[in-house]
Structure 1
Amino acid sequence: MHDLVIFDCDGVLVDSERLTNQVLVDNLARYDLHVSLSECMSLFVGGTMSGVHQQARSLGADLPDDWVEQIYTEVYAALRAGTPLVPGVRVVLERLDAAGVPYCVASNGRPEKMQITLGQNGLWDRFKDVMFSAQVMGTAKPDPTLFLTAAQHFGAVRPVVIEDSENGVTAAIRAEMRCLAYAAHDDGAGLSALGAEVFTQMSQLPELLGL
């Protein structure tokens, strides 16, 4: 059995990716970059907002220098209006608790964002002291440092990563960790090609974790 489960947050614990990316679609359209929701998710899921800022500019968006703070304000408002848990997540966490397996979250997102999404679902207290954020640590996926730091913190020798993005899977593989990739919106072929084991329902996760 694994001695640590490292969860990504957006798209794995909370069903926030479509909400966030719709805000991006609407915002970027105001700066003359017109993309569909699916295109936006393909381009930006798993990255940082600073990375989105740079990439959107390279695609022709005339974004202001303070755009990152602007978009976070808009995203936070949308998430506060209601961000559901990914179906089945609470059961997975309860099974981990029962088995005595520790878990944490490692995300490219800001802690403030996770407090909004996890907090409204009653999960903030579970994760607030075991949260590894790229915005705090200054290094983001696909760099493996977030995952390696989490494993070192727990003294884990058999950690497993739960991810949903190419950047996240790449970071896990670079960290030489087993990666289980949750593919909720497609067949996960891209994630599988990077080395992840793909699953499509959270109800499958306890068995994959050996619980």
Structure 2
Amino acid sequence: MKVEAVLFDCDGVIVDSEAVGVDHIAGELAALGIDKTRHEVIELFVGKTLPGVGAALRAAGSPLPEDWHRGVYDRLYARLAEGTPLIPGVEAVLDALDAAGLRYAVGSNGEMRKMETTLPQHPRIWTRVKEHLFSAQALGAPKPDPAVYLAAAAAFGLAPEACVVVDDSPSGCRAGVAGGFRTLGFAAGLHGAEHLRAVGAEVFTEMADLPGLIGIGS
């Protein structure tokens, strides 16, 4: 089936926010006497939700209050508001999708508020995606549940087979595969190609390669 829409993750795919998030979470945990290596924080945090991270840590015996994530969100968003760069090449990719007449949306595991903090910093991106933002937290179904990508496809009136998912985390790629989408794993950030390939994604490492991978040229 011809590709009619591309459904992007946000953090690590549109905006380069994940490294900031990992360092911030590590600092928040350290302040509570919970020492985690950067690798451990990546495994805990990236592609997941903060409430889920908190629940996992409490289950392992860490002394986190139930509402721990709320203050962390506020402080993290304040940090991201100071400046969150784009993933290199993503603006040119949207230009190519526009030229080819393809639609696109952003489906994040994070809160809508997070996308509304990072994306408006880039007006040429924001004006094109602001009406097509989907939050897995708002849906109550975080990745690897495919609900956020299924909702985005349904909003376009498209079947999963007519869409491509682009995600950079194992949980996000699992969501794409579980939803019946062709899933491209962007392995340029915190996750290795082998982890994305292992969950069924087709792996690429340069955003500039995306148009060619979906058959529209660059």
TM-score class normalised by the smaller sequence = over 0.9
> What pairs with 1:8-27 in structure 2 (closer than 5 Å)?
8-27=9-28
Structure 2 length normalisation: TM-score? 0.93
1:38 to partner: Cα distance = 2.3
The residue number in structure 2 matching 1:193 is 198
Query: SS in structure 1 opposite 2:106?
Result: strand
Distance across 1 between alignment mates of 2:192 and 2:47: 17
1:202 to partner: Cα distance = 0.5
Which stretch has the larger CA shift, 178-187 or 99-108? 178-187
Distance across 2 between alignment mates of 1:132 and 1:20: 20
- 5+ residue gaps in structure 1? none
Distance across 1 between alignment mates of 2:167 and 2:117: 20
The residue number in structure 1 matching 2:70 is 69
Once the two structures are superposed, what CA deviation does each residue of 1:116-174 show, in whole Å capped at 9, x if it has no partner?
Answer: 11111122222221111112212111111111121111122311000011111111111
Q: Please say if residues 31 and 61 of structure 1, whose CA atoms lie closer than 8 Å, have aligned partners that are also in contact.
A: no
The residue number in structure 2 matching 1:81 is 82
Which stretch has the larger CA shift, 182-191 or 46-55? 182-191
**Percent identity of equivalent pairs:** 45
- 5+ residue gaps in structure 2? none
Once the two structures are superposed, what CA deviation does each residue of 1:63-85 show, in whole Å capped at 9, x if it has no partner?
Answer: 12221111101111110111100
Paired residues, what number? 211
The residue number in structure 2 matching 1:112 is 113
Distance across 2 between alignment mates of 1:149 and 1:115: 19
Distance across 1 between alignment mates of 2:79 and 2:214: 33
1:133 aligns with 2:145: no
1:46 to partner: Cα distance = 0.5
Which stretch has the larger CA shift, 91-100 or 117-126? 117-126
Which stretch has the larger CA shift, 73-82 or 122-131? 122-131
Q: How large is the RMSD of aligned CA atoms in angstroms?
A: 1.2
